[in-house]
């Protein structure tokens, strides 16, 4: 299980994908979003929506960002990483 932050208030988690899959999925979705947004997306709204819908389609689920989890607190094994931005 892996989580990754997108922006400052969201963590994306997946039930079985790891860090490498996150980066692959994120890169793929970001490329798709870049193609879809075009020149009319002055504020990046279309790009963000396309990227988020793509990530959801790959099984990633957004959750509220929480403090780093430790074993024994209900989410053992959950990792939190930044998306690289």
pLDDT tens for 23-48 read 999 999 999 998 888 777 888 899 99
pLDDT class of 63 with cuts at 50, 70, 90: confident
pLDDT at 72 > cutoff 50: no
Residue 83 is encoded by which pair of tokens? 């998306």
pLDDT for 36 equals 85
Tell me the DSSP string of 8-60: SSEEEEESS--HHHHHHHHHHHHHHHHHHH-TT-TTSHHHHHHHHHHHHHTT-
pTM of the model: 0.66
Phi then psi for residue 7, to 5 deg, are 80, -160
- What are the sequence ranges of the domains in the chain? 2-67+78-82
pLDDT at 56 > cutoff 80: yes
Rg (CA), the chain: 14
């Amino acid at each position: 299980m892996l989580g990754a932050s997108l922006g400052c208030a969201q963590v994306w988690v997946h039930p079985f994908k790891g860090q490498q899959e996150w980066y692959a999925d994120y890169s793929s979705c970001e490329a798709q979003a870049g193609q879809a947004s075009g020149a009319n997306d002055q504020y990046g709204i279309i790009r963000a929506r396309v990227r988020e819908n793509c990530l959801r389609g790959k099984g990633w689920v957004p959750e509220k960002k929480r403090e780093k989890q430790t074993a024994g607190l209900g989410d053992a094994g959950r990792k939190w990483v930044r998306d690289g931005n």
